[in-house]
Amino acid sequence: MSPNPPDSSDKVVGVDTNILINFGNFRRLAWKELFPNAPSITVLVSAKVQSEMDRHKDHGGGYARKRAKEFQAVLRAAEDSGYEISFNETGIPVRCVFLDRPQTDLLDGSRFDLTDSDELIVAQYHFASQKWGPITIVANDASPIRAAKRALMSALRPDPWTADRTEPEDETTRALRERTHELERIVGARPRVELKEFSVRGSGEETVRFADDFDYAGFQTDMRSRLADRIDLPTRLDLLKRFGKRLPSVGHGLALPSPWGGIGEKELHEWDSKLYTFQSHFDRISETQMLASLRMLSRTYVIEITIRNNGEAPDRNICVDMEARGTANIFGPRDLQTLNDWKINKPKPPSFQGPMLPSLTDFTLPPREDEHSFYRTKRNGVAQSHRCAVFMQGQEATIRAYFLAKNDGETPSVLVRIGAQHLLSPIVREVNLVPQPITLNLDAIHALIRDRLELMPEKQADILRAALDGR
């Protein structure tokens, strides 16, 4: 069935092949820009244009072949509906009609050179105007526009449109484009060292006390139970199962040992005594002594500085300098471990093995710092410095320092400076070390000890960590 002519208000156009090739996807041609006052557009596609688009599909290259394939997809969609299809993808209703090829003797050979492709296209639209009424030829070449005007047809060159000759990408082109983009990103990449977090923990001097209703005897009982239940040490029965029992001596002072030697009552008694001494450690510490130990543990200010490179390239020569001001002083971890040594020693169970040879690891040199790690370059009573040679993009590091301060009316503080090769100016922060009163009950003591394990001797910290593991 032949398509019906348009309404009188409709704009009817005939497109040249170069429009379909050079001005973007066929379904999204910018008709609204070319005919802003038209309520709708009827687009006629002559048989010669269809033939040329088919040739571009099979023999064209680059963007011409891409556009021809897009055109063929629309044509196939119209085959089941009388070679007519409608769409509205650019803000104006578009009715597209694919015309049949008229017989050559019906075309006006006196006005058009039917052997010329451009004039043949215009001639076919001139013939279609008998049915469709006035047709505006839309082309971007001089030849079809001139032929249309010679036949007294209106013609329009789409100057307001922007030609779209984007080449389709193959795998090689895509890989090259992505590599070029990556190289541009690398060349333009810069580091961005930032201070992510700056925290201070500590109560200061003489600001810790027990709660008024604190039961110190209950604390001692709690710690005795924790050391007994949570520290893995053998009982008397465990030792007997492991070694067997040595029989008492018989005649002439001789003993009858088990095949493994066994363990005697003297060794068992000594072990019971050591176990009791260890588990009752806090029973021998007075309330005053315990409060003094907790005050020393709490009064240390722990400064944590976390920095991060949020840029896209490494930065170099990162410097983190801390300076104690006023009555504040910097202490090293070993000094603090000595101050916070509560003399909790895990007893060594009896052993009947021969002397242990030293491990090869005892002779291993400590690992050297790599260029991506921070290492301390200075520490005295008032200053501490850390350096990193290369701080990679995405890398994050936390640096700690420990301060003690006296409260003599002057507020002590810590000044931090962070510098890097690509930082235009150093990052500078200063924090006051303000005493924070703490009132201790049983849970608060547990929390304080867990928070300050790094300030204790390592073996003592391991014991208390296990005893206060939250179970």
Question: Can you list the domains of the chain with their CATH numbers?
Answer: 11-156 (3.40.50.1010)
Per-residue pLDDT at 249: 56
Per-residue pLDDT at 187: 72
- CA-based R_g, the chain, Å: 45
252: left (phi over 0), alpha (psi -120 to 50) or beta: left
Per-residue pLDDT at 14: 95
> What pTM was estimated for this model as a whole?
0.55
* 176-184 LR contacts (CB < 8 Å, sep 24+): none
Q: How many CB atoms lie within 10 A of CB 101?
A: 11
* 405-412 LR contacts (CB < 8 Å, sep 24+): 405/204, 405/205, 405/301, 405/326, 405/327, 405/328, 405/329, 405/433, 406/205, 406/327, 407/204, 407/205, 407/206, 407/327, 407/435, 408/327, 410/326, 410/327, 411/326, 412/324, 412/325, 412/326, 412/327, 412/328
What CA–CA distance (Å, rounded) separates 171 from 52?
A: 28
Per-residue pLDDT at 396: 94
What CA–CA distance (Å, rounded) separates 242 from 266?
A: 16
Parallel, antiparallel or unpaired: strands 136-138 and 155-156: parallel
- Residue at token pair 């990679």: 392
Torsion of CA 414, 415, 416, 419, to 10 degrees: -160
What CA–CA distance (Å, rounded) separates 362 from 365?
A: 8
Closest by CA position to 153, among listed 174, 176, 132, 172: 132
What CA–CA distance (Å, rounded) separates 255 from 168?
A: 97
Per-residue pLDDT at 361: 47
Residues with Cβ within 8 Å of 215's Cβ and at least 6 positions away in sequence, in order, are 442
Per-residue pLDDT at 258: 47
The one-digit pLDDT tens for each residue of the chain (471 residues) are 455 555 456 899 999 999 888 887 778 888 888 888 899 999 999 999 999 999 988 776 777 888 888 899 999 999 989 999 998 878 889 999 999 999 999 999 999 999 999 999 999 999 999 999 999 999 988 899 999 999 999 999 887 555 555 555 567 767 877 787 777 677 778 899 999 999 998 887 767 899 999 999 999 999 999 999 999 899 888 888 888 887 665 555 444 444 446 788 888 899 999 999 999 999 999 999 999 999 999 999 999 999 999 998 899 999 999 999 988 899 999 999 999 999 999 999 887 554 444 554 444 444 555 788 999 998 888 999 999 999 999 999 999 999 998 877 778 999 999 999 999 899 999 999 888 888 999 999 999 999 999 999 999 999 999 999 865
Torsion of CA 202, 208, 211, 217, to 10 degrees: 100
Per-residue pLDDT at 252: 52
Decide: 448 and 210 in contact? Cβ < 8 Å: no
Q: How far lies 339's CA from each of 31, 209, 446, 461, in Å?
A: 85, 19, 19, 13
Angle at 462 (CA atoms; ends 358, 302), nearest 5 degrees: 115
Q: Amino acid identity of 7?
A: D
What CA–CA distance (Å, rounded) separates 290 from 287?
A: 5
Parallel, antiparallel or unpaired: strands 208-210 and 315-325: unpaired
Per-residue pLDDT at 247: 65
